[in-house]
Amino acid sequence: MAINIDDPAPDVSFQKQSGETVSLKSLLGQKTVVLYFYPKDDTPGCTKEACGFRDSYTVFQEAGAEVIGVSSDTPTSHQQFSSKYQLPFSLLSDSRNQARKAFGVPPTLGILPGRVTYVIDTSGIVRHIFNSQMNFQGHIDESLKIVKAISKET
């Protein structure tokens, strides 16, 4: 079952780049969370998307948001990808695709892991969903627009 706007985000757990386990619930409360699911580390589209979030990271931070990337890649793969492109945000491992299933991230063409971004407010409510396998910049632009709107509410 897919998560929709105004639904509470499911409390799922991930493995951080360091190998430790972290829950989504523990990341909420202080900042809006921009949680983006992507197919695979170090592929052309995923690199473009990650670097787009990297290049706008300061703006997200200033608007009170934290960016977090999620794929099924290993923590080691995430460390290498993050280091190679100097990503200032966490990449979390969903190796068994439990978070992807809990959010209802649909596959593309039935085989590729989907590319979906969720903006989750400090109360844990999903405020925006952007789903596009090919519009990499749209994930950044749409998320930033919503994050800025949320920051004006407080």
Mind listing the pLDDT tens digit for each residue in 103-122?
Answer: 999 988 888 899 999 999 99
Count of other CB atoms within 10 angstroms of residue 126: 20
Look up 46 and say whether it is catalytic: yes
Residue 154 — pLDDT band, cuts 50, 70, 90? low
Residue 46 CB partners (closer than 8 Å, separation 6+): 38, 39, 40, 71, 115
Q: Which domains does the chain have, with CATH numbers?
A: 37-153 (3.40.30.10)
Phi, psi of 125 (to 5 degrees): -95, 135
- pLDDT at site 130: 97
The least confident of 1-5, 37-41, 86-90, 135-139 is: 1-5
- pLDDT at site 135: 96
Region 33-39: mean pLDDT is 98
Phi, psi of 60 (to 5 degrees): -60, -45
Active-site position among 46, 67, 129, 147: 46
Distance between CA atoms of 133 and 45, rounded to whole angstroms? 9
Please report the sign of the dihedral spanned by the C-alpha atoms of residue 89, residue 84, residue 111, residue 109.
Answer: positive
Region 19-29: mean pLDDT is 89
Could you tell me if 57 and 51 are in contact, meaning their C-beta atoms sit under 8 angstroms apart? no
